[in-house]
Amino acid sequence: MSNQYRSYNRAAAPQRGYVRQGRPNVSVRTPQAYVSGSAARQVSVRTQRQMIAAEQERIREQELVAAAARRNRERAARMNPALITFMAVILFLTSFILIRYISLQSRVTESVKEISALEKTYASLKESNDEMENEINARINLDDIKFKAITELGMTYADQNQIITYAGETGDYVQQVREIGN
């Protein structure tokens, strides 16, 4: 047998589906074709068709994008002056409102800082006031007050007949309506 009809396994060739073509140097094994002495795979026609279809799709997409850009340029070229004026007014109003909002936000921040500082001042003043009150209360001697009231001001303790008891109302203060007699 000559080398001209070579296959990988000559004894198994008919059982494995090898078919001898009319051309002497080519043996076909489904679905790939082999050339005698070469194991190089031939490029599939189907793959070439897919590549061509993908290229055509890419070109079609580029054309669509270019057409959309062209339409946008044409639309921009023929914009209505009233529309442009309206857009400019809206832009101005939006800018004004934004600037005003930022200004108000800044004022609120400053007010919050000022309130915080005033609260700190209030707390320190309240603390010093409480300290002074405690110091004054610690210095008060009730015996000295009693002595001065009796000796210097001539005050005396009330007798039993001088004490008048009355039922008070639910209010928290007493209003004097006439002079109290001796």
pLDDT digits (tens, 9 = 90+) for 98-107: 999 999 999 9
Say which residues have a Cβ less than 8 Å from residue 37's Cβ, sequence separation at least 6: 6
Low-confidence ranges of the chain (pLDDT < 70): 1-46, 168-171, 181-182
**How many C-beta atoms lie closer than 10 Å to residue 151's C-beta?**
9
Q: Is 124 helix (H, G, I), strand (E, B) or coil?
A: helix
| Sign of the C-alpha dihedral computed for residues 55, 60, 64 and 67 taken in this order | positive
pLDDT of residue 34: 52
Residues ≥6 apart with Cβ < 8 Å to 13: 7, 27
pLDDT at 132: 95
pTM higher than 0.75: no
Q: Taking Cα atoms as reference points, which of 164, 163, 145, 165 lies closest to residue 155?
A: 145
The string of pLDDT tens digits covering residues 74-90 is: 887 777 888 889 999 99
Task: Report the alpha-carbon distance of residue 99 to residue 105 in Å, rounded.
Answer: 10
pLDDT of 140: 86
Give the DSSP letter of residue 120: H
Q: What is the pLDDT of residue 69?
A: 93
Q: Where are the domains of the chain?
A: 1-42, 44-78, 83-130
